[in-house]
Amino acid sequence: MNQGHTSCGQEVVEADRVAAFSDGVFAFAITLLVITIHVPGPAELGTKSLLIALGQQWPNYLSYVLSFIQVGQVWANHHTMFTYIKRVNHILIVFNTLLLMNIAVLPFPTALLALYIGTKDQYAAVMVYSGTLAVGGIFYNALWWYASHHSGLLDPKLDPQVVHRVTRRYLLGPILYTLACAFSLFWNGIVSLVLCIFLITFYLLPTVAGRITLLRRE
């Protein structure tokens, strides 16, 4: 593996190992999300039919789908980011680890959402969920900001205008997720949840995940 040094004297290495490790964490976290879906046992049905019992689990299905798409779109954008990042140093690895920590904990707020949607405490569940996404957005932006502001980490052929465009798109996430977290205190979580759904869908779009053209210098 090739090694070098940044202008501040920190050792840098190729990014492939970091990307491969990150893929493993994303895969593990997205697999854990399914535990929010409960299989009703015969003793739990009482006078209800199995179909009714399964239908009553709609909050579980909703939270599962939202979080699965969330992890998937973060992975897709992270993958795209690491086509821009060619080398890493210790500080960038720390930022990436913080992002992965946020991804790994997502099954917890997902379970809260599944359990408390439709109850008087749904605002708290949505607040924790949107707050978790906001923190993840901050870590994601910190990772990209560090990579884009330190010499030797990004692809040298990457046009500065592309870097600026990507930076602007990434900044939207933590701002709006923080607003969603705040809204949960005033609108019982419904507005916050709708805003989270919008953001998760927005960042899933191909224009964000993978169709930003890499303008390269001749």
Per-residue pLDDT reduced to its tens digit, 125-142 = 999 999 999 999 999 999
Measured between alpha carbons, how far is 74 from 79 in angstroms, rounded to an integer? Answer: 8
Q: List Cα–Cα distances, 125 to 55, 102, 172, 193, in angstroms.
A: 21, 17, 23, 10
Q: Is residue 32 part of a domain?
A: yes
Measured between alpha carbons, how far is 9 from 62 in angstroms, rounded to an integer? Answer: 48
Q: What is the DSSP letter of 165?
A: H
Tell me, rounded to whole angstroms, the distance of Cα 107 from its chain centroid: 12
pLDDT surpasses 80 at 209: no
Q: Is residue 130 part of a domain?
A: yes
Q: Is residue 217 part of a domain?
A: no
Contact 40, 54 (CB under 8 A): yes
Lookup result for tokens 């049905």: 45
Q: Is residue 170 part of a domain?
A: yes
Q: Would you state the pLDDT for residue 143?
A: 95
Q: Is residue 214 part of a domain?
A: no
Q: Is residue 63 part of a domain?
A: yes
Residues whose CB falls within 8 Å of the CB of residue 110, separated by 6 or more in sequence, listed in order? 33, 36, 63, 64, 66, 67, 129
pLDDT surpasses 70 at 165: yes
Q: Would you state the pLDDT for residue 11?
A: 56
Residue 50: domain span: 7-209
Q: How many domains does the chain have?
A: 1
Q: What is the mean pLDDT of residues 79-96?
A: 91
Full-model pTM:
0.82
Q: Is residue 2 part of a domain?
A: no
Q: Is residue 1 part of a domain?
A: no
